[in-house]
Every structure is written in C-alpha cells, then in structure tokens.
C-alpha cells in the first residue's frame, strides 16, 4: 500500500477524494488546496494524497524522482511507459478498496490527478467496472489516446477536465485531443480551459467546487 497524506474535513467521512500528484512532487503537494476548495455545508470528506514511488525518469537523464510511471520520450503518442501506468492503476485500486473497507461507498469516491497523476486516473476510468463518484483530471492527458479502448463492461464516470492555454509541459492541443477521445468512448466530460501554464488557478478551483457540489448534493 502506498504511503499517504490524509486530511479529513469532519468526523466519520462518507466521501473520499484520492488525489494523485504530478511528476517529482509528493502527497503534500495538493494538501494546501483543501481549505480553498471545500465549501460550508459539504458533507465530511477524506482527502487521500498518496506518494508515488521513486523511480528513474528517462527524459530527466534517469534521475530518480517520485513518478507514477517513466516518461521515455517527448512524443505524447508513446511517451508513457504503459507498464508503469498500469502498475499505478493497480496501486490506485488498492487505495479505493481501502476507502471502501473504511466504510465509504464506491459511488462516494472521487479520483483526482494532476499531470502524471491525471494520466493514471484517466487510464483507470476506461477499465473501471465498479461505480465511482467522478474523476478530476487537471493539466493532464490520456496516454496513447489513439489506441486506448474502454472496457466493454466499464461503468459511466463523470469527469471534470481542466487545462492551461499556455501549458508548456502538456500542450493544450494534446489535452483537447485526449478530452475528445474520452468523450468518443462515451464518458461524460466537462471541459474547462484557463489562461495559465502548468498549474492550478483560483478560477479553476471555483469551477471544480461547483462541479463537486452538484455531485455531493445529488447523492
């Protein structure tokens, strides 16, 4: 089981958000946004921020750092080490199972990811056969989008996907292509873009809060 940073917004949470960080960061990276995102009146939430394993990253001259998979080149059609992506999906499934064991129903679990973390959760969504509350994919892309396929028995998972128009790490058109591919596979996706680089902005958090609130209130 991956080591995690955890924050709870109230006692006995019945909702969880498992949030995967980007390359070279760790589970502490997105913890500070919790008070900015959470709104009065929401049910108690457990935020789970796992630390990715440390591994050599090919495009960074093999320097070891925390990453959900190796990046083997610059071409987005083949840059992700898919064995590593799939291994991280298995680790993610274990975290989902742990939340269920703690009493949080699967349909009350959100998956969130930034950059590399987002690539993992989008890949997981295509194979997911049990319900989830939704996916939050920030400044990210779907690995091997041209050949990715959704499992025949995969469930519908609503997705919030947002990207910066000036992102130098993952170009906007790569993210837009990924969003189109996900929609073409039948998944419900809300797309947002913002005048920012490879980051998260206040306007984005407001839109994400609206999206989360609609789902928390509908349950």
Query: What's the whole-number average pLDDT of the chain?
Result: 96
Which of these, 124, 112, 126, lies nearest to 162 by C-alpha position? Answer: 112
pTM to 2 decimal places: 0.97
* 92: nearest Cα among 118, 58, 55: 118
Per-residue confidence (pLDDT) for residue 79, from 0 to 100: 87
- Is 167 annotated in the active site? yes
Q: Which of 115, 139, 163, 178 is catalytic?
A: 115
Which pLDDT value is given to residue 77? 79
- For 96-128, write each residue's pLDDT tens digit: 999 999 999 999 999 999 999 999 999 999 999
Q: Give CA–CA dist 189/116, Å, rounded.
A: 19
Tokens linked to 19 = 């949030």
For residue 110, give Cα distances in angstroms to 20, 24, 165, 168.
11, 23, 25, 27
Catalytic residue among 21, 108, 167, 178: 167
- Report residue 142's pLDDT band, with 50, 70 and 90 as the boundaries: very high
12 given a catalytic annotation: no
Contacts of residue 115, Cβ cutoff 8 Å, sequence gap at least 6: 22, 23, 138, 139, 140, 169, 170, 198
* Residue 198 is among the residues annotated as catalytic for this protein: yes
pLDDT in tens, 175-198: 999 999 999 999 999 999 999 999
């Amino acid at each position: 089981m991956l080591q995690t940073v955890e924050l709870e917004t109230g006692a006995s949470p019945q909702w969880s958000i498992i949030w995967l960080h980007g390359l070279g960061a760790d589970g502490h990276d997105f913890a500070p946004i919790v008070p900015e995102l959470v709104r009065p009146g929401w049910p108690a939430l457990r935020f789970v921020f796992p630390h990715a394993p440390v591994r050599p990253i090919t495009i960074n001259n093999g320097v070891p750092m925390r990453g959900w998979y190796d990046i083997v080149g610059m071409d987005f059609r083949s840059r992700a080490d898919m064995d590593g992506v799939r291994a991280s999906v298995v680790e993610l499934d274990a975290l989902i199972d742990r939340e269920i064991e703690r009493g949080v129903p699967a349909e009350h679990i959100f998956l969130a990811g930034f950059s590399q973390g987002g690539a993992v959760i989008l890949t997981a969504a295509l194979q997911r056969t049990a319900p989830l509350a939704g996916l939050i994919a920030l400044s990210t892309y779907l690995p091997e989008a041209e050949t990715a396929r959704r499992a025949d028995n995969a469930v519908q998972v609503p997705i919030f996907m947002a990207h910066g128009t000036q992102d130098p790490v993952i170009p906007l058109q790569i993210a837009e292509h990924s969003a189109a591919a996900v929609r073409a596979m039948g998944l419900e996706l809300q797309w947002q873009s913002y005048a920012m680089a490879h980051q998260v902005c206040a306007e984005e958090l407001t839109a994400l809060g609206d999206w989360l609130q609609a789902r928390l209130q509908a349950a």
